[in-house]
Structure 1
């Protein structure tokens, strides 16, 4: 039986209990982070914690510190013997009476789960969502909240159209991100991504590329995206190269893909 870490303790997943009155369940009031696990260790914990702490400040939600998260991950990975895969940390507002205003007392619910697997490199078909836009003015764009309904709707729209992923534009009609990934385009051997101010989530893989000097931030139009020499969707667990975009084939760059994977430390398929 699988194990989870819940409020400071390891327990069997089947025995883990979250109240039906938890605001994470009733209102989506909470945050999460999906962390890559490689060789038994969590990758880029500092970047994940920066985003989690920012999200906690925006929501007025108490989140665990880095030491607590590191200890939880270490205990859970050792107990499950997961060497490669992912760990998901979830923080909710906790149990509270009905109503939108959070209570002044009470504590958060914090839990972590792990899943075995490998970071993946693959190709994907992409379409521009016609129903969902990212509001570039919303403070929620810069955190990972438990409410993913707009992304879910866009992903369903893509599936109905026979595509594997949906591109989200902002209110101004410029590129923001996809439902689960940062958009990276290649031009003349350089890589670009929309700025956070365009509605893009400050992704961890994105931050790694920025820190390495591999990526430049600029507003990106839909036309520019379609003219790119290569188009990639990246997150902590994957690099996906777009092969078809809005029904048209996209140019492929083996060299560009290799450069991105090398910096992100993700192995190309044999």
Structure 2
């Protein structure tokens, strides 16, 4: 495996243990993470990703993160991975803790930092399915990028079983929310609309950049009003009255060409959004 792994202040071999059996990230999913694309040897939009990492940790109730350690790990794995790197993952957990869900007092918490760089497989299109489970927009974890990813694992497994690479979820009120690891953009009525964060969707870095760069380029792209994109809008995609695109840190902007068991067309705005994003990607590695 072409992986570079850093933890505890040094690089590790892929088969070398880096966690204690009582790490709270392992026992109860008490941790946060970020995934960045690696572009020309650098972590793309690293400043934005680190800011979200800190925001997720704060929302989870973790003490302030050791950001100097995080940055040291990023530098180390990028040097070690070299041209093989296509993605970078930063994971910070609550460190060694009790076997239950409660944590040690803040002054006793010793966070675990693990940074990994490795290859990435990137496609220029996406295939998605609707799944019956929902994103709970009232969850204390809504909008946080935490290691408590069991729901996403189950939903994505369903998508893979059906030949897709992403699963789409509604929120508890029947509004379109997001994918397991992507934000959604619906091309409808001459606009590209992404669900409101009130649906529990993650504030994706690529989502934010497409909203920013699209507006600067005159592309009609915006965040939808909270109740503007009902789950049933996906029926319009199947019928050809709307189109769909997904955004994510490794996938960038990818038009959807299959939804459930139906081939669907990539919309013109979705294709233009992808072209624009890839062009801007080359302009600034840390926008």
TM over 0.5: yes
Alignment of 1:245 with 2:247, yes or no, is no
Alignment of 1:258 with 2:276, yes or no, is no
With over 3 angstroms needed to count, the CA separation of the structure-2 counterparts of 1:169 and 1:121, relative to structure 1, is: same
Alignment of 1:91 with 2:92, yes or no, is yes
Structure 1 unaligned blocks of 5 or more: none
Distance (whole Å) between structure 2 residues aligned to residue 22 and residue 66 of structure 1: 19
Alignment of 1:110 with 2:113, yes or no, is yes
Structure 2 unaligned blocks of 5 or more: 283-287
Cα drift, residue 68 of structure 1: 4.1
Partner residue, 2:155: 154
Contact between 2:126 and 2:165, CA under 8 Å: does it hold in 1?
no
Contact between 1:82 and 1:115, CA under 8 Å: does it hold in 2?
no
Alignment of 1:225 with 2:234, yes or no, is yes
Cα drift, residue 162 of structure 1: 4.6
- Which aligned pairs between 1:93-242 and structure 2 lie closer than 5 A? 93-104=94-105, 105-117=108-120, 119-124=122-127, 126-130=128-132, 132-212=133-213, 213=215, 214=219, 215-218=221-224, 219=226, 220-228=229-237, 229-238=242-251, 239-242=253-256
Distance (whole Å) between structure 1 residues aligned to residue 117 and residue 96 of structure 2: 24
Q: Which runs of 4+ in 1 moved over 6 A?
A: none
Distance (whole Å) between structure 2 residues aligned to residue 128 and residue 264 of structure 1: 27
Cα drift, residue 52 of structure 1: 0.9
SS at match of 1:13: coil
Partner residue, 2:285: none
Bigger shift: 9-18 or 227-236?
A: 9-18
TM-score (norm 1): 0.88
Contact between 1:92 and 1:108, CA under 8 Å: does it hold in 2?
yes
More strand per residue: 1
Say how many residue pairs are matched. 265
Contact between 2:69 and 2:113, CA under 8 Å: does it hold in 1?
no
Distance (whole Å) between structure 2 residues aligned to residue 36 and residue 164 of structure 1: 18
Distance (whole Å) between structure 1 residues aligned to residue 120 and residue 160 of structure 2: 24
With over 3 angstroms needed to count, the CA separation of the structure-2 counterparts of 1:200 and 1:184, relative to structure 1, is: same
Aligned Cα RMSD in Å? 2.3
Cα drift, residue 146 of structure 1: 0.8
Cα drift, residue 64 of structure 1: 3.7
Contact between 2:8 and 2:113, CA under 8 Å: does it hold in 1?
yes
TM-score (norm 2): 0.83
Distance (whole Å) between structure 2 residues aligned to residue 119 and residue 251 of structure 1: 20
